[in-house]
A = this chain, B = another copy of it.
């Protein structure tokens, strides 16, 4: 697969931004600077970026509890996101949402979501709007290997087929839902087949390889955008951290994490692929790395200096046109 250089550079930048955002967020959580429950996406970057590089601002995504990567890939402002994680009133959600609820309507980000499989039904709604408006948009929802066992996820898949809407279901199989392996939680032997049995094509990808995800997502999105109803992407991937920050990860095999970081790193894979094709030089990638590091540093500096919310802000933003105080 050959992509324009500009696109290659951007894809790498996005993946690197996610990686560094997450690693830095991890450090700040360990430092006690970031409160709440945070789930890191490190290791899965190629999935978010491979999908979102096929989307425009008008297309929508809806994410999960592990949402930072999807939001950055879809164009959320990194500084606004870091401020949100820090709970500032200048955060993307004014400090009201935090890690699990990062959202940006302007960028078509209908939110990270703290409820497992909360997103797919909502995404079907966005897809339905696109179908009614005939505006050619698609609506993507991300789910994990655990999320696909939730009733709402099945309902959404069936409804999308019934209404023939341009919904794309991206399943990121990182093999674990919290501490439980997919081999336990998904009863059948073939999750891809179970998904396809709902009546739409599912394209398989290597979630450590940007190009693989990009291609699979391109097919799924083309299918959906073309008015053929929903489609799916099924990517095998791995998270480099625990389920949440602080997870002792008793479920890992010996050496599993080392192996993942060594052999399933999308950044390494991307660099290797560029080295082979010569499309982009390692120096160009190094330059991006430096820019990303600077951006992340800046985001943390700004987030730490950003204003804190004040108590009066608790009751605003509940409704549009009557104040919560009087309810």
Contacts and interface: CB of A to CB of B under 8 A. Distances in A.
A311 interface: no
A10 interface: no
Contact of A198 (B153, B187, B196): B187
A97 B157 CA distance: 34
A39 to B, nearest CB: 23
Contacts of A188: 158, 161, 197-199
Given A188-B197, A188-B198, A198-B188, A155 B150 contact: yes
Majority secondary structure, A binding face: helix
A285 interface: no
State the oligomeric state as a number of copies. 2
A200 to B, nearest CB: 8
A185 interface: yes
Nearest to A196: B197
A169 B3 CA distance: 49
A303 B151 CA distance: 41
B187 A194 contact: no
A257 to B, nearest CB: 26
A194 to B, nearest CB: 4
